């Protein structure tokens, strides 16, 4: 394979500069442009037709799951473009969402480990050839989540609560869930609290409850 054309999306200026230099320093790669948010990334892809997109998972405009959205858009519109998602989260839901429609040409790496230039270069090469790379720490989390076998509480959820939990499993905030399901944010909060109570998570901090609820959901085999 010849030179691999790479587009980079990252809203943190320092990280964007750092990763740009890593990519540019490798003679196998040509950096065709950078973008600080999802709309500019999509415009860059249309204009430059890169072989691989390296993207942060959370960027403007909403700071939720833009990297996953970009990967889904590319799957639909430019299926041959590989995607390397960089994340600071081992949360299985992000990896599951990335791989939902197949793992070919997809990589999920943790930012803390991208300090290794070789790791990033390997992921770019692999997805350019249609392969897949998932950070081992994320795989560990996925395996751990699968061991949380189906909980009785899940069966007690209403259809709407199950729907909200499925959205939560994609890493969405209450506001993003409300927008996706066309309900009020207040309604989402009410359903979310009900989910936590039914799953026996009412005593924990909110972030821990969200993560544990998602792990129970994935562990029941409903998240794939």
CB atoms within 10 A of CB 140: 12
Measured in whole angstroms, the distance separating CA 137 from the mean position of its chain's CA atoms is 14
91: left (phi over 0), alpha (psi -120 to 50) or beta: beta
Question: In the chain, what are the domains?
Answer: 4-143 (3.40.50.2300), 149-219 (1.10.10.10)
The number of C-alpha atoms within 13 Å of 68 and in the hemisphere containing its C-beta is 22
Q: With a cut of 70, list the residues of the chain below it in pLDDT.
A: 1, 115-116, 140, 142-152, 202-208, 218-224
**Cα–Cα distance for residue pair 131/79, rounded to 1 Å:** 13
Cα separations (Å) of 125 from 81, 121, 141, 148?
A: 12, 6, 25, 35
- pLDDT at position 222: 44
**Cα–Cα distance for residue pair 59/12, rounded to 1 Å:** 9
**Cα–Cα distance for residue pair 162/139, rounded to 1 Å:** 24
Going by the DSSP 8-state scheme, the letter that residue 8 receives in this structure is: E
Quick check: 53 and 85 in contact, CB under 8 A? no
pTM exceeds 0.75 for this model: no
Q: Between helices 206-219 and 92-99, what is the axis angle to 10°?
A: 50
- pLDDT at position 223: 40
The number of C-alpha atoms within 13 Å of 77 and in the hemisphere containing its C-beta is 12
């Amino acid at each position: 394979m010849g030179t691999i054309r790479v587009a980079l999306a990252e809203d943190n200026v320092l990280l964007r500069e750092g990763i740009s230099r890593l990519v540019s320093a490798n003679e196998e790669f040509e950096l065709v442009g950078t973008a600080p948010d999802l709309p500019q990334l999509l415009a860059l892809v249309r204009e430059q037709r890169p072989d691989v997109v390296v993207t942060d998972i959370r960027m403007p405009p909403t700071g939720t799951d833009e990297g996953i959205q970009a990967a889904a858009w590319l799957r639909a519109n430019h299926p041959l473009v590989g995607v390397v998602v960089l994340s600071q989260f081992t949360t299985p839901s992000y990896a599951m969402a990335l791989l939902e429609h197949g793992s070919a040409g997809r990589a999920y790496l943790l930012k803390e480990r991208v300090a290794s230039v070789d790791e990033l270069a390997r992921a770019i090469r692999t997805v350019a050839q249609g392969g897949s790379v998932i950070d081992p720490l994320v795989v560990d989390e996925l395996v751990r989540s699968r061991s949380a076998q189906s909980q009785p509480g899940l069966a007690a959820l209403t259809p709407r609560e199950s729907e909200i939990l499925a959205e939560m499993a994609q890493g969405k905030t209450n506001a993003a869930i409300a927008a996706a399901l066309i309900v009020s944010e207040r309604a989402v909060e009410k359903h979310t609290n009900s989910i936590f109570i039914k799953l026996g998570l009412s005593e924990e901090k909110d972030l821990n409850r969200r993560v544990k609820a998602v792990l129970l959901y994935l562990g029941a085999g409903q998240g794939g």
